[in-house]
Amino acid sequence: MSINADTPFWKLVLKQFDDLLVKILIAAAIVSFLLAMINGETGLTAFLEPSVILMILAANAAVGVITETNAEKALEELRAYQADVATVLRNGCFSILPAADLVPGDIVEVSVGCKIPADMRMIEMLSDQLRVDQAILTGRARAAVIGVGSKTAIGRIRDSMLKTEDETTPLKRKLDEFGTLLAKVIAGICILVWFVNIGHFGDPAHGGFLQGAIHYFKIAVALAVAAIPEGLPAVVTTCLALGTKRMARLNAIVRSLPSVETLGCTTVICSDKTGTLTTNMMSVSKICVLHSANHGPSAAEYSVSGTTYAPEGSIHDGTGTPHGGWRGGHVAPLLFETWAVGDGSLFGFGISSSGLDPSSSGRSLGFFSLVGQARLLEFPAQFPCLLHIAMCSALCNESIVQYNPDKRNYEKIGESTEVALRVLAEKVGLPGFDSMPSALNMLSKHERASYCNHYWENQFKKVSLLEFSRDRKMMSVLCSRKQMEIMFSKGAPESIMSRCTNILCNDDGSTVPLTASIRAELESRFLSFAGKETLSCLALALKRMPMGHQALSLDDEKDLTFIGLVGMLDPPREEVRNAILSCMTAGIRVIVVTGDNKSTAESLCRKIGAFDHSDDFIGRSFTASEFEELPGLQKSVAVQRMTLFTRVEPSHKRMLVESLQHQNEVFILEIFPQKVAMTGDGVNDAPALKKADIGIAMGSGTAVAKSASDMVLADDNFATIVAAVAEGRAIYNNTKQFIRYMISSNIGEVVCIFVGAVLGMPDTLIPVQLLWVNLVTDGLPATAIGFNKQDTDVMKAKPRKVNEAVVTGWLFFRYLVVGAYVGLATIAGFIWWFVYADSGPKLSYHELVNFDTCSTRETTYPCSIFSDRHPTTVSMTVLIVVEMFNALNNLSENQSLLVIPPWSNIWLVGSIIVTMLLHILILYVQPLSVLFSVTPLSWAEWTVVLNLSFPVIIIDEVLKFFSRDRHGNTHAKVSYKLIY
């Protein structure tokens, strides 16, 4: 039965009793109860044992309900991190809000790849096409909300649908298989325990053969209930859910629990560059235009200050290019811009101090002031190329920049490259009058955010849009003004330049043919921007369209006029370099996958250490076209060595994933299958994300990409992926530690009962005591192990193999050693009281193991001594205390307690304290001590309990030492492979 928030409480309770062993124990308690009535027994003692058994089973059920409820709550909280978002217009500004916060009347804007967040009615089209495929919306539009949540059409259907059961994780399947095997082994041992004690069925203490048989049957069944970890799946789910909540706080939102396990197996991370390895705080820092074509091509290069989304910064001429022109009157006259078109005609318009003035005419010059070695442009918009770059940046753009008064900063909605162009348009300003810079600074921050952009958008009407596509690597917009149609385009430099036949000159606004020498000059500047300066580059162009042209087609994107080249700075994140080094140490390859230029990406990879400090990129850096041209065998070699994959389209991402998944890595002469993590954010990235072993979507990405992914990065940060891998490994380790604690402790209980029965001693523990131990040791301490901190060497081990057993041979040996000690220490406490304790009878060992013949021979002690509650109390206390020390052993699989001290997991320390207080309660409070057949212990007895329990720490420290030695050799071999 699957558990969810709607499951009734009574069903949760009944589920805890839906276990064969529990049912058998209940039946045994009822039979014992009936026999007592048939025999005429009266008083509390006659019905004490069956009553206490039923009470403890009820308490166990309560613990089970709480555990499963907490696991489901943790999963529900995890799902809350995955809430959809929407771009909403409120108070005159667009902002990104959770979809659950929408109300009827909100205006929502959706774009390519967005999920429709509510029932909405269309009010405006912002693109030529709008295609809707269920939850996928292609195009751009605005709509008014008319229904939200359960009041939507889909919401009403959802209420009538059955909830699908959660997917069982591979780890849980492995644990179920291991648990089934363990249950069979323990059940066999329990049956053997019952048969071994057949000779004691007739002991007078039991009141008859049948009563003796039932007594030992209850011991066998209680032992099975205590030893078999029936609560394992629920606690594992809790452990995984708690871990994923920690990951969510690290900004890694896991969408499915199986991916937590796969994270620990990741061998290759294919990471996007922009926004993941870099800050994605794009800002235009360089501009290159053609100054003049006279006497050979002369390029002008400008630097732009300011690295945020604030419209604050200036433009400097760093080349020392001379400029000339007129400047007349108190107010600068209009700028007259000209374009050469096919028939040689010119067109233009002017701007006066009061705004657009089509009747104005004249010409002006932008003057300089010196700032250091660079010359400040006081009026950048007076230069033809800079002016048209500003126009194109404002009009060929789908982003929004606005001021957030609550956060007191400027925010973006849309692509960072487009936002950078919007900010550039603000820095260029508007042409035509002297007071422009100071006038703009007098505006409020809200108005200033997009004042110049809005100006151009008001002057030109957008008629048609060709959206960006990865095959064209460009976008275009058709704008109309005063019976003049112009197409503005922007895109990858090679895509734009290949479509250009003319170029705009910055000195006089003339248009000249784009000759081979000019192309060479521009390409040289482009390579300098992309390579040495690590700038992402875009080229801008325009084209005069025939009058009355109303729609764009792909054929229109030719014979363009080149305006200029902009280089955008996107600095690497500070934490990325250490994250990549951590991956290398952990045996994880990092492949940078980007649609950017090869030179730019190589320069970035050198900065972040992705090339492992090597300057030889041959065989490690490929463009998509270079990779596709390789023969089959060379492709396999390239995939094994690849570090950088550039000019990539979404289809190439899927191809890369498939190629990597078919590769096998050799670690220490073992075949090691690749497990690939791939990042993505666009609609077209969805197939690659789905195909990857771990699909990682960006928090700023499309809803389609998120729905296809296994994990979402809320902060788009590569370092978060590495932190998530480390957390995934830690979660798996904690799960193993929990299993190790339960199994080793349960093995100890089996050893205790079985060895005691084989040796012929009295009952070391009675059924109610076994069940009490199970209740207090398998509850709080086991769950608290899930809060263990990461091992210090969690990212120094090679990735775990997916098919690796949860319990390996060496681990199981450790379970047996620790479990054997737990059981023998419990028996030792029992023997100590009878043979050595000052308060005990000081029997010989021979007399102890022949207790059943006491009544048939002469002894110096009364036979009632074997019914004393002290020895079983000592055994029970030793078992609980040794298991508490064993819980401390499980703070780490291999790290010493000297390295990871007990207080590193305060929850575990607290659970141990609570467990011991509960045990002391039943020892020293009279009604409870009678119920559990225990008695208060003296300080001497407590000293023996501690002396017998503590060595389990020393034993496990020795086993950990040998484990570290084994893993140390593995680390050395992995490091050797990574270096050579």
- At 804 the three-state DSSP class reads coil
* β 589-593/268-272 pair status: parallel
The neighbour count for residue 345, using CB atoms within 10 Å, is: 10
Q: Which two tokens stand for residue 497?
A: 């330049």
The catalytically annotated residue of 19, 128, 203, 272 is 272
Q: Which two tokens stand for residue 21?
A: 């062993």
* β 560-569/500-504 pair status: parallel
Q: Which residues pair with 375 in a beta bridge?
A: 317, 370
CA trace torsion 950, 956, 960, 963 (10° rounding)? 170
**Cα–Cα dist 252/245, whole Å:** 9
Q: Which residues pair with 490 in a beta bridge?
A: 475, 540
Q: Sign of dihedral through CA atoms 616, 618, 620, 624? A: positive
Tell me the angle at which helices 209-227 and 718-759 cross, rounded to the nearest 10 degrees: 160
Vertex 228, ends 224 and 232: CA angle to 5°?
155
Q: Which of 767, 734, 732, 736 is nearest to 749 (CA)?
A: 767
Q: Which of 425, 430, 415 is nearest to 449 (CA)?
A: 425
CA trace torsion 831, 832, 836, 842 (10° rounding)? -30
Q: Which residues pair with 345 in a beta bridge?
A: none
Q: Which two tokens stand for residue 438?
A: 């100071």
Q: Which residues pair with 288 in a beta bridge?
A: 301, 565
Alpha helices in 81-169 (DSSP H): 153-159
Tell me the angle at which helices 232-249 and 44-80 cross, rounded to the nearest 10 degrees: 30
Buried b (16+ CB within 10 A) or exposed e, 102-112: beeebbbbbbb
In the 8-state DSSP scheme, what is residue 345? -
CB 597 within 8 A of CB 649: no
- Distant-in-sequence contacts of 124-128, Cβ < 8 A, 24+ apart: 127/465, 127/467, 128/464, 128/465, 128/551, 128/552
Q: Which two tokens stand for residue 703?
A: 């809803």
In the 8-state DSSP scheme, what is residue 886? H
**Cα–Cα dist 781/918, whole Å:** 13
Amino acid letter at 889? N
**Cα–Cα dist 736/880, whole Å:** 21
Q: Could you tell me the CA-to-CA distances from 930 to 47, 92, 829, 914 in Å, in that order? A: 12, 74, 21, 21
Alpha helices in 255-322 (DSSP H): 258-263
Q: Which two tokens stand for residue 212?
A: 């003796």
Q: Which two tokens stand for residue 955?
A: 């034993």
**Cα–Cα dist 923/914, whole Å:** 14
**Known catalytic residue: 852?**
no
* Catalytic residue set: 272
